[in-house]
Amino acid sequence: MNITKDQETGIDTSRRNFLGRGSVALATVALAAVAQGQERAQVHKAEGDHSASNPGQENKTLLEQNPNSNTPPDTDHGDVGPIWYSFDLAHKRVQEGGWTHQVTARELPSSKDIAGVNMRLTAGSFRELHWHTADEWAYMLTGKARVTVLNPDGTIFIDDVEEGDLWFFPAGFPHSIQGLGPDGCEFLLVFDEGMFSEDGTFLLSEWIAHTPDEVLAKNLGLDPSELAKLPKDELYIFPSELPGSLAADRAEVGGARVQAPQQYTFKLKAMAPTKKTAGGEVRVVDSHNFAVSKSIAAGLVTVKPGGLREMHWHPNASEWQFYIAGKARMTVFMPTSRARTMDFNANDVGYVPPVAGHYIENTGDTDLVFLEIFKADEFQDVSLNNWIRRLPTQMVREHLNLDAASIRKIPAEKQEVIGR
């Protein structure tokens, strides 16, 4: 740096100019903070007076379910993008034997990594034999089902699943789902492609319908009279008779000789909680305890009334949520100074961008139950409390203006769920 001095004062003018520029920068930051504080105060004041009134038309039912979206807390600021959608807004495809609807990146554009499908099958009905381009992870919401999946080496996996169970089918592996008694089933399907479409799967019936008869006869070894019985259009979801016992199906296809060595189902709800506190519990499933699930990790979270899924973020993936029961609110924090609060109810989908800070609070009077789902082989989260308490006290004091006694009140260990 070239050193210059004022001829009258002898002061180092290069240093003075540098300090001056630094002072201007500090002043700019301070003024921005003041302006943001004034904006918060103005918003808070406006919410409490006539400024927030709406004499025009309103969807009161929707507003009652989403009070924090319509009139956000004054801590909200800027735009973080869409973080909410509901399966109840999605078009439902109904066929004899069940129905399906989906929330993909078309409905929730922020979610580029994960898409979800909610499906119902009546007793005996099939989601026909098919395969697709994405890995499929599923959570059973109600009832019972029988699932099959074929490995490329010719071994077959057949199992029965019920409420709280999972399955995982790798991309390209052919599989089926059949509702069992007494009233079939309903389940959530999760795919590791945001633009996945349940209408774009590879169906056995469609392949048969679009293959010349002479090829089918040669490949399948069937006579022309038998070819006439094959489907001429897609089946997709269709009714059928209830199957026999699981043991009978396994034995009929060849028993232990053809049984797949992998375990493609998992009893998530029946497992012991990974973490349990006064505020609730979390059950984590990923490739560590469900070996085949190499692309989807998840947590089944229960939060008691007034409790909080603690302030945290996920360093390895965005988060796709499905709300099973209860009421919640979530604030998502993003740089710079952006935050958005939304309310969630059963059958809603939530989204948190990669590494974004957030919490989920139970705002109802019953347990809040939801799934946190990630396109990752491992469940990872970073706790704000844990981070603060792993730092030297002086460092925390300088950042948060708290004394040592106050800092010690902050939980030192990761809580996952904090009680009222």
**Res 196: pLDDT:** 97
- Is 372 a known active-site residue? yes
| Residue 135 C-alpha from the chain's centroid | 15
Pair of tokens at residue 164: 């709280």
130 is in an annotated binding site: yes
Tokens 């070996």 correspond to 291
- Who contacts 139 (Cβ-Cβ below 8 Å, separation ≥6)? 164, 165, 166, 187, 188, 190, 268, 298, 300, 322, 371
132 is in an annotated binding site: yes
**Res 2: pLDDT:** 45
pTM, rounded to two decimals: 0.88
Cβ(147)–Cβ(161) under 8 Å? yes
- Map out the domains of the chain with their CATH numbers: 90-266 (2.60.120.10), 268-418 (2.60.120.10)
DSSP collapsed to 3 states, 96-149: CCEEEEEECCCCCCCCCCCEEEEEEECCCCEEEEEECCCCEEEEEEEEEEEEEE
| 172 φ, ψ (degrees, to nearest 5) | 85, -10
Type of residue numbered 120: R
Cβ(120)–Cβ(184) under 8 Å? yes
Pair of tokens at residue 180: 């069992």
- Who contacts 341 (Cβ-Cβ below 8 Å, separation ≥6)? 68, 69, 72, 73, 75, 76, 329, 330, 331
Sign of CA dihedral 229, 233, 234, 237: negative
210 is in an annotated binding site: no
**Res 103: pLDDT:** 98
Q: What is d(CA 253, CA 243) in angstroms, rounded to the nearest whole number?
A: 14
205-210: long-range contacts, CB 8 A cutoff, minimum separation 24? 205/128, 205/231, 205/233, 205/234, 205/235, 205/236, 206/233, 206/234, 209/233, 209/234
39 is in an annotated binding site: no
**Res 69: pLDDT:** 86
Q: What is d(CA 335, CA 78) in angstroms, rounded to the nearest whole number?
A: 10
pLDDT tens by residue, the chain, 420 residues: 444 444 444 444 444 443 444 444 444 434 444 445 555 555 555 555 688 788 999 898 888 989 998 889 999 999 999 999 999 999 999 999 999 999 999 999 999 999 999 999 999 999 999 999 999 999 999 999 999 999 999 999 999 999 999 999 999 999 999 999 999 999 999 999 999 999 999 999 999 999 999 999 999 999 999 999 999 999 999 999 999 999 999 999 999 999 999 999 999 999 999 999 999 999 999 999 999 999 999 999 999 999 999 999 999 999 999 999 999 999 999 999 999 999 999 999 999 999 999 999 999 999 999 999 999 999 999 999 999 999 999 999 999 999 999 999 999 999 999 998
198 is in an annotated binding site: no
Catalytic residue among 107, 361, 372, 416: 372
User: Is it true that the peptide bond before 336 is cis, omega within 30 degrees of 0?
Assistant: yes
Q: Which residues of 108-122 are buried (b: 16+ CB within 10 A; e: fewer)?
A: bebbbbbbbbbbbbb
Pair of tokens at residue 198: 């349940």
312 is in an annotated binding site: yes
399 is in an annotated binding site: no
Provide the 3-class DSSP secondary structure of residue 303: strand
User: Is it true that the peptide bond before 239 is cis, omega within 30 degrees of 0?
Assistant: no
